[in-house]
Amino acid sequence: MSKQKEELEHRLKLRNIKLSDYNDIRDIMTSIYKEPGGAWTKEELKNQIKVFPEGQICIEDNGKVVAAALSLVVDYSKFGDNHTYDQITGFGKFDTHDENGDTLYGTDVFVSKDYRGMRLGRRLYDARKELCENLNLRSIIAGGRIPGYSKYADQMTPRKYIDLVKNKEVFDPVLSFQLANEFHVRKVITKYLPEDTDSRAYATLLEWINIYYEKEEKLIGNKKSIVRLGLVQWKMRRFNNVDDLMQQVEFFVDTVSGYKSDFCLLPEFFNAPLLAEFNDMDASEAIRNLADYTQEIVTRMRDLALSYNVNIIAGSMPEYDGKKLRNVSYLCRRDGTIDKQYKLHITPDEQAYWGLQGGNGIKVFDTDAGRIGILICYDVEFPELGRILAEQEMDILFVPFWTDTKNAYLRVSTCAKARAVENECYVAITGSVGNLPRVENMDIQHSQAVIYSPCDFSFPHDAVVAEASLNTETTIVADVDLDLLTKLRKAGSVRNLAQRRLDLYSIHWKKNKS
């Protein structure tokens, strides 16, 4: 891998701030807050970390801090609604922090200008909400700037301006973002930041209510229990180029991300419409030319995963290294990392038409929303693979597939459902619909996206969590509860994993061949 390529790869990590991050934080604050006060001093940041380390959160990329959010806990009754920024932060010392307080008070959120558009602010807000819930605090309160008000100050009151922003008649770079993140305006306060001339020293007093208040929860960064899956049932249509293809991909990624999905699953060979460009070639030559687009698509998928904060299982695409043509599914995590899983079993048609060869390895992938496996289409029809993944504590199995007829689809879907039952896991499958005239071996499609569960009392009676309409371009979004899998494995009506007769049989993975 070239040095230039390494420098372009993101490695996002959400974590608590350390004092050694000060230079990065100072540089961001100085570039953003040129007028209202500039950056915290190193001594101020040191004290903020000392009094409440859990509340100082940042996002790093390859070791460099690129965004941060600062907060403290206060007994809000001691301050009330008519406070100033300096009063509630103790002039930046955070000596107003009260570990027995009832409110998480947000003081600052800032993102490097080089990382605008990647929705890092939303990640920080979500982390704050998680912290508020897990510390069992009543709400998050913050004083919000309204920098866009300076353009309207001679025409209207702050309250009128806020109403226009709420109704989306006017865009404010701070308030519009906060409203989109489920905060509501309690009131307008004056002289909150006297030096903030853009806001004319006005501010909004914003609040987010913790509906789980009084419940005990864990702190940020722990394994999720409820995981939201977004499946794309993709329509095969003509695309002129990769840009056209990725425009449609981004539409669906945006759609499932809008519902705060943790995963977005695309079908096997979702990029097959680009084969139309090579209609004049032999099928085996055409698929190898299609493979030339794979790296570009993976890079752009990685960028979408980062920007939309969703882990993407990028269906599958052909990969050709000059000697072997293989079918590979890429996992593009929302932290910027990438993994891949090769298809192991090749169908007779895939071998005859294209000369595809199978991979020789399989593993479970760690994500921020559970341990997952990927089996591409035909592979799910081999029960040994699902069992090997289950033995590695897989929670969710993703199956991108492509099938042309109903009987082919039923082979995949029936086996996928069996994998969910026998391996006590969730299985999500999706394929393509529509037709591609004059694209050999990819001309017709048959699909119904489904999320399967184990079959016991805590799950749907038919083991179907959700299913899409047959042969229609659409998405399904549904939640799966990973804690239910733990309960099933320990106390289910039957326990397929625990009660295997390992004294009689086992599955042994042979050493990989080079």
Active site residues: 268, 343, 377
Q: Is residue 447 within 8 Å of residue 267, measured between CB atoms?
A: yes
Q: Contact, 51 vs 17, CB < 8 A?
A: no
User: Are 65 and 22 in contact, with CB atoms under 8 Å apart?
Assistant: no
Phi and psi, residue 397, nearest 5°: -110, 125
Specify burial of residue 77 (Cβ count, 10 A radius: 0-12, 13-18, 19+). Answer: exposed
Question: Are the CB atoms for 79 and 59 separated by under 8 Å?
Answer: no
DSSP secondary-structure letter at 405? S
- Residue 511 CA, chain-centre distance (Å), reads 34
Find where tokens 């206060």 sit: 74
Tell me the Cα Rg of the chain.
26
Pairwise CA distance, residues 68 & 25, whole Å: 8
Buried b (16+ CB within 10 A) or exposed e, 238-264: ebeeeeebbebbbebbebbbeeebbbb
Q: Partners of 142 in the beta sheet?
A: 106, 206
CA–CA dist 290, 75 (Å, integer) = 61
| Under 8 Å between Cβ of 379 and 352 | no
> What is the distance between the alpha carbons of residues 139 and 212, in angstroms, rounded to a whole number?
10
